[in-house]
Structure 1
Amino acid sequence: MATPALPKPAGKPREVLPDQLRWRCNPAEFDFKTTADLKPLEGIIGQERALKALQLGVELYGAGYNVFVCGLSGTGRATTVKQLLERIRPQCAPAPDRCYVHNFHRPDQPRLLTLPRALAIPFRKDMDRAIDFLATRIPQLFEDDKFQAARGRILERYGEREKEMLEGFSDQLKKNHFALAEMGGAGTTVVPVLQGQPVPLEKLDEMVAGGQVDSAQARQISERQEQLQRQFVVLYRKTLELQRAMNLELELLEREAASALVDSVIEDVKEKYPHNGVADHLEAVRGSILENLSLFKTKAEGEEAEAARLLLRSSGPADPFWMYRVNAVLGHEDQQGVCPVILETSPTYVNLFGTIQRTYDVRGVARSDFTDIRGGSLLEADGGYLVINAMEALTEPGVWRALKRALIHGQLEIQSAADWLSHLTGSALKPEPIPVNVKVILVGETYLYDLLYAYEDDFKKIFKVKADFDSQMNRTPDAVRQYAALLRKLCEEDKLCPFDREAVAAVVEYGVRRAGRQDKLSARFSEIADLAREACYWARQAKSEVIGRTHVERAIAERIERHNLIESKIQEMIEKGVLLIDSRGERVGQVNGLSVYDMGSYAFGKPTRITASTAMGRQGIINIEREANLSGRLHDKGVAILSGFLRERFAQAKPLSLAASVCFEQSYAGVDGDSASSTEIYALLSSLADLPIRQGIAVTGSVNQKGDIQAIGGVNYKIEGFFDVCRAQGLTGSQGVILPIENVPDLMLRPDVVEAVRAGKFHLYPVATVDEGIEILTGVKAGERQPDGAFEDSTVNGRVDARLRALAEGLKDYEARSRGNEPRSE
């Protein structure tokens, strides 16, 4: 029996150099001592693409050219929008003023008056002064001696005529022994006078029965009473007609007395505001005043007037002249002004679109009129720009539907919020719609834009411009200087201590790490601002007037400590042996994979033991995580790629007769992502080749079916997580991490990891293929395919190929025996 050939040793692998592990910002390149020597940042950093799109949306006037600003939160989207609009100072036609006035023909449909800019408030004040003047002067007119004399003559004349009519009838009644008497609910009626006393007809029958009046006399009295009653009714109607005639003549007298005054006041207002619709409204006001002069008389009628006012307040508004007032729902103070830029931080229905308020009288009855109409920020932004949060606009009841309607039709219909949201009949008012020309800028996340674009038909018609803010920007010398200027601006705005050059360098390095690539800087400036504030806190705690690198590093360390409780617990379980991780020795079919735990506010990396077992069969590769419903779609895809890789490499001349399983050991939560697919391949190759893998080397990287190693995310967290485990278990100098070569530019490792690599205590191995990685893990040459199609003997691929061939032949023999047939000899 031949002795198996010894495995062919692999060559020395390449390593990442210490200088490649972290980009260092050189403080000596700064031309300032502290940020106090700099000018504060003006403008926006690193969002050229978004700014270009935003400027297009702002300056292009056309239907639907509203803007959706998207990107990660913390990149300064809302602030940037406002700053950009202030910087470019877009030209727009000054929006006119808008007023609501009473509609005297249709009180439930208040009229809209459009006035030139800055005239609504003066118009309202002039109308108030005019009405208040009339309320004072009209009562004085009616108290004038000349007016009172004319009024007295009318009263006297009609009084005499009424007296003449009544005296003739009274004589006739007396002559026939009848009189007029109040009979309760029957009112005034004609009754007979018997024995000097008026007697109701109902008692006449009783008197006949008592013998006081005979029946013939009673019948005669009844007949005569009916005749006189008919005459009285005719006479009463004549007195009513006389009263109406008198009242009409008095009203004409009052109109004649007041018309000159009213005409003069109305004409003065009309001449001052010769604008569309104003003259018609003032004519309606003139007619209403002259028809309702009784409202103005109550000013000088003592107790009766006060009673009238109390009655009015109990059944309507406290102001008896409310119908003559002006509601300036949009009134500007200046005639020119600049384009309004409204940042609505609370986009509720009422705040955006206005409402119709309800007032209650003393009886608790709700009512509304045109003076209760209130505008919102959409009207305030007329002719300009309205910036609102997209998520809040979608989640606030009624807002999105009303916003679409306003943008599509270009008009605002102010309704009661309660009526709009509850769909119940409330206020009967339907104000005339207001034409609006507003550019709306929604600020939201990218996924929200995608959802709206896919499922909201009207969205793509009314938001034609997308401004996408990036979370990172190129790390150029100019960008680094802008970072320093940003810190100067924060110091000025938040009254922070100045940063020295080392501190600025530390902040820039933090920005590079947050960006996830050495040639990039983070554009999430809210995080940078938070770091600056916290660094200032620690500087002041140390009684330092200037922020240094140590204060920035302290702020970073303290922030990590506030969020890394779960990381500490996992590390503790690894150190106590509860979670099994080997960082020394060798094992067949076992590899340390690397995972990232993203907690939202904090992310960290930790190793996970990944194992593989192989046997004869046809099941292929079984994903144990999937069998347990713990595998995500991306992880399922990664496992499926393993089968493709094995078929591509080892099943060209034979079937792949394999039953294998891969498992994330001690993983009880969901697993997703394909960054462990290369790790799983290494475990399978180790099991098939029966070659042990170095447990001091952890692996990260995805793989394709051709065996190429692909870049992954979170590389810094993963490396640091395994380094912490190795340091806790003891650094041997042979430990390290295999990573995709494309991830080398992403490295921004902690200084302690860099120093360990520099001292030779830890190693990073960049690889481009599976073969490079398996050689590092096993120390055995991977092996290339020979011209005859076979792999080199005593290599990893050769041993795997031989094992798979043996499994295929063994399965073939087994199946043949199972069918009762002898295997065919070769």
Structure 2
Amino acid sequence: MDKYKISRSKLNYNFKAEQLDFDTTEELSAIDEEIIGQNRAADSLDFGMRVDKNGYNIFMVGESGTGKSTYAKNMTEEKAAEMEQPKDILYVFNFSEPEEPRVMRVPAGMGNDLKNDMDKIIEELQEEIPRAFEGEEYEKERKEILNEYQPKSNKLMQEFESSAKERGFLLQNTSQGLVPVPIDEDGEPISREDFQEMDEDKKEEIRNESQKIQNEISQVMREIRSIKEKAQDELSALEKKIGISIVQPIICHLKNQYEDCEEIADYLEEVQDDIVDNIDRFRNENDNNQQNPFLAMQQNDDGSFFVRYQINIFVNNSKTDGAPVIYEKNPTYYNLFGKIEGKSQFGTITTNFTMIRSGSLHRANGGFLIVHAKDLLTNPFCWDTLKRALINQEITVENIGEQYRSVPIITLKPEAVELDLKIIMIGSPYIYYLLYNYDDEFSELFKIKADFDTEMTRNKENIAKFADFISSVIKRDQLKEFSSGAVAAMIDFSSRLTGDREKLSTKFNEIIEILYESDVWADSYGEEVVSASSVKKAIDEKEMRSNLLEEKIQEQIDRDHLLLDVSGQEVGQINGLSVYQAGNYSFGRPARITARSYLGKEGVINIEREAKMSGRIHSKGVMILTGYLGGKYAQKTPLSLTASIAFEQSYGGVDGDSATCAEVVALLSSLSGMPIRQDIAITGSMNQKGVIQPIGGVNEKIEGFFKVCQAKGLTGEQGVIIPQRNLDNLMLEEEVIAAVENKEFNLYSIEEIDQALEIMLGEEAEKVHSAVQEKLKEYAEFDSEDIAEDDQEKNEDENE
């Protein structure tokens, strides 16, 4: 069996401080990039940023803690610094369609200037226009117009009244308007009684004449109205002329300031025309609002007419260097796509274009938006709206409730903003493949996949970068400097995280946690420089905070509540090894596996599966075991066998195929009658040909059995069998390595199941197989006799 033992030299994985070319991290320079060992992802991200086409958005795939967010932010900021500064995005009043505010794009910083200038000129016009209409020149021209048209209407009315009087009628104003009233010879209105006493011919004559005069009244009133309209037109033209004389110079001066921006010039033309058309508002607005605020609100939802001349700086890029980089950490619908706010006024909610607020999608326009996929997908309506915006290359601001109201209401419909940005979404592999497989549009919108690995090769180059990374964190977060021994301990910890001595972990959040905690322990020890012992203390304490479940299970073993033997021999009973997961902490413990065989035809019964406690992988492992038995022992005769295999005292379910080797050995022990050593535990997967395959959690499994043996007393004979292909994964605790070196504990590696049989049963594999074959032959003979008896009974029944 010694030939299968793993030597101490093969267990050595510790990185030596002497291999580092520095004494403390103070000698190292901080690296510019915050991530190492991700060349594949870095190249993908760089390529995705250089492709300026629709659909080439980037999805960064990787486990949490691999530095995706930090790297995305750093890379985009570096790329954005080289890009052109985007324009400001403004919303302005739409003078032709007030409910549809329109978008203006102006050079960065010009939006603020325009807003301030517009506020100033409106304030100036509110003072200048009323003053102009209070002047003598306006009053003089107004009187001239009135003096020209008023006599005409007066004369026309006087002539008509004289004509009516000559015809025996007086014109009288009533609630129904101007009506003719018949008069007597003295010019007095005829009373109703007098009228009734007249003969019918006279009455009819008065009625006919009254009707003629009534018709003439309508004609005269139309002529008078026409005269007044002409007068009003001339007054309006006068007001417009005065308004233009005041507004035009101010607007022209402003247009000269923005002559390089055609969009602003066009807007100012519209402003000028609107001010002139609404000149009365500037003359009377304040008085009207003070006299009747409800009327002002009714006339305009904003409560103020002059809001229309304000500028809504929707996106302000005046302080943006290069292109914008927006990292949206809370991607709710409104945070992403903006909203239309409202205010309570006189018991109702009102809004206007100045209350349109931008979202991060708008602020990132012309640059980059970074968002986490999980956060985005868990917020209602966000994913579908984002896809629609990317497909249409535009985004409209609308409140989310508008499309789900049972009764439509009047609201603003802002013009859509054109989109030109690149989205970098960060998520786990699960989310990526979920979207890729079930969302048809996803692959068209996110064509670049940047895959982040959780490990990198443990070579000289990456070790140097790893040390530089530690130095960067120390300088950034003002920690104590680390000694070369402390850095070497961190390198070993990183490899242990990967479960591979040839790799380093890229889960930098876990690395940083140990750096922080090591700094605290070094401080409590009074160290000026963090030592390797402080790093190990931090690792041990972190483990201690999470290993309550492990201690509880060990306590059950110590008190014989969980039945385990670590000495002696038993037929059909073996110590397998399991890994328990408690959050981010995993540990190993042995599990008793038993096998019983007897006459029958049911084959191998997986008790865990029958009890619905077996996972799919474990069930597959038992089926592979059945395939191995058939291939090994049933080439010439049928396999007549019933056997049951169980994990004793297992109540939470079993999964994984790492117990396949243990199950085979236990079953062959039951069939051959040869006892199994209880002081040795085994782990390993196996294929149908008996070849041993590597498994996961090998370090935790070995350490778990070691702790049980240590608690019950080390004999020097105890040990663990592991697959040969797991040697590169061995990164055991110093205590275990020391026990192996002192021959208090043993480790074995195997490549075939026959080697496990030799170690566990203490016999040559061929002898074990012969014994098993004999037992199966015996079962087959019994089975044949039963078949012969059944046939004989059947024939006798037929003869009768």
TM-score for the superposition, normalised by structure 1: 0.88
Give 3-state SS (helix, strand or coil) of 2:2's partner.
coil
The runs of at least 4 aligned residues of structure 1 exceeding 6 Å deviation read 169-177, 187-194, 215-228, 421-424
Matches within 5 A, 1:124-143: 124-143=115-134
Q: For residues 406-436 of structure 1, what are the alpha-carbon distances to aligned partners after superposition, in whole Å with 9 as ceiling and x for unaligned?
A: 2222222222233257687455433332222
Partner of 1:106: 97
Take 1:274 and 1:423, find their aligned partners in 2: how far apart are those partners? 47
- Identity %, equivalent residues: 37
**Shift, 1:363, TM fit:** 3.7
Aligned to 1:76: 67
Find the counterpart in structure 2 of residue 291 from structure 1. Answer: 277
Offset, 1:525: 0.3
1:701-720 mapped onto 2 (5 Å cutoff): 701-720=684-703
Contact map agreement 1:419 1:427 (CA 8 A) in 2:
no
Partners of 1:424 and 1:516 lie apart in 2 by: 61
Q: CA deviation at 1:546?
A: 3.1
Cα distance in 2 for partners of 1:381, 1:424 equals 34
SS at match of 2:13: coil
What stretches of structure 1 of length at least 5 have no aligned partner? 1-10, 784-794
Q: CA RMSD in A?
A: 3.1
Whole-angstrom distance in 1 between the partners of 2:754 and 2:29:
54
Residue 658 of structure 2 corresponds to: 675
Separation in structure 2 between the aligned mates of residue 703 and residue 555 of structure 1, nearest angstrom:
38
- Structure 1 residue 191 displacement after superposition: 7.3
Tell me what 1:339 maps to: 323
Letter in 1 for 2:781: E
Against the structure 1 CA distance between its residues 187 and 27, is the aligned structure 2 distance closer, same or farther, given a 3 Å change threshold? Answer: farther
In 2, Cα distance between equivalents of 1:19 and 1:190: 130
Is 1:115 the counterpart of 2:106? The answer is yes
- Determine whether 1:534 maps to 2:520: no
The alpha-carbon deviation at position 260 of structure 1 amounts to: 2.9
Number of aligned positions between the proteins: 788
Q: 2:782 aligns with which of 800, 805, 810?
A: 810
1:523 to 481, 506, 512: 506
Q: Distance in 2 between matches of 1:533 and 1:707?
A: 48
1:429 aligns with 2:412: yes
Give runs of aligned pairs for residues 156-555 of structure 1, distance below 5 A: 156-167=147-158, 180=172, 183=175, 233-271=218-256, 272-298=258-284, 303-304=287-288, 306-307=290-291, 311-313=295-297, 315-333=300-318, 337-368=321-352, 370-419=353-402, 425-426=408-409, 428-555=411-538
C-alpha distance 605-56 of structure 1, shift in aligned 2 (>3 A): same
Say which of 704, 716, 738 aligns to 1:721. 704
1:36 aligns with 2:26: yes
Residue 459 (structure 1) shift: 1.0
Structure 2: how far apart are the matches of 1:723 and 1:382?
60
State the alpha-carbon separation in 1 of the partners of residues 643 and 405 from structure 2.
Answer: 61
Q: 1:436 to 1:539 in 2, by over 3 A?
A: same
1:690 positional shift = 0.8
Give the drift of 1:602: 1.6
User: Bigger shift: 68-77 or 425-434?
Assistant: 425-434
Question: Any conservation in 2 of the 1:68–1:465 contact (CA below 8 Å)?
Answer: yes
Question: How many angstroms does 1:30 deviate by?
Answer: 3.0
Q: Does 1:656 align with 2:646?
A: no
Aligned-partner Cα distance in 2 for 1:231–1:179: 12
Find the partner of 1:17 among 7, 31, 37: 7
**What are the superposed Cα offsets for residues 592-642 of structure 1, whole Å, 9 maximum, x if unpaired?**
111111223221111111111111222111111111111111111111100
Amino acid across the alignment from 2:7: L
Structure-1 separation of matches of 2:646 and 2:180: 114
Contact 1:58–1:90 (Cα < 8 Å) also in 2: no
1:593 equivalent among 572, 576, 579: 576
Matches of 2:727 and 2:794, distance apart in 1? 57
Any conservation in 2 of the 1:679–1:701 contact (CA below 8 Å)? Answer: yes
Alpha-carbon distance change, 538 to 421 in structure 1, aligned in 2, over 3 angstroms: farther
**1:62 match: secondary structure:** coil
Measured after TM superposition, the shift of residue 253 of structure 1 is: 0.3
More divergent stretch after superposition (118-127 vs 635-644): 118-127
Matched position secondary structure for 1:820: helix
Instruction: Choose which of 728, 739, 755 in structure 2 pairs with 1:745.
Output: 728
- Cα distance in structure 1, aligned partners of 2:762 and 2:304: 96
C-alpha change, 1:254 and 1:689, in structure 2 (3 Å) is: same
User: Which residue in 2 is equivalent to 1:8?
Assistant: none
- Which residue identity is paired with 1:56? F
Larger deviation, residues 606-615 vs 145-154: 145-154
Moved more, 272-281 or 168-177: 168-177
Preserved contact between residue 179 and residue 193 of structure 1 (Cα < 8 Å): no
Distance 1:480 1:135, change over 3 A: same
C-alpha displacement at 1:223, in angstroms? Answer: 7.8
CA–CA distance in structure 2, aligned partners of residues 422 and 640 of structure 1: 58
Corresponding residue SS for 1:321: helix
Closer/same/farther in 2, CA of residues 704 and 159 from structure 1, 3 Å limit: same
Query: Which residue of the partner structure matches residue 798 of structure 2?
Result: none
The Cα shift of 1:355 comes to 2.3
- Asked if the contact 1:416/1:427 (under 8 Å) is kept, the reply is no
CA 1:773–1:171: 2 relative to 1, 3 Å: same
Q: Is the 8 A contact 1:624 1:663 kept in 2?
A: yes
AA in 2 matched with 1:96: K
CA distance, structure 2, for counterparts of residue 455 and residue 231 of structure 1:
82
- Partner-residue secondary structure (3-state), 1:691: coil
Shift of the 396–423 alpha-carbon distance from structure 1 to 2, 3 Å rule, reads farther
Which letter maps to 2:392?
H
Aligned mates of 2:91, 2:467 — CA distance in 1: 53
Partner of 1:792: none
The whole-number CA distance in structure 2 between the counterparts of 1:226 and 1:108 is 50
- Distance in 1 between residues matched to 2:676 and 2:223, nearest whole Å: 123
- CA pair 256-733 structure 1, distance change in 2 beyond 3 A: same
Deviation at 1:516, TM superposition (A): 0.8
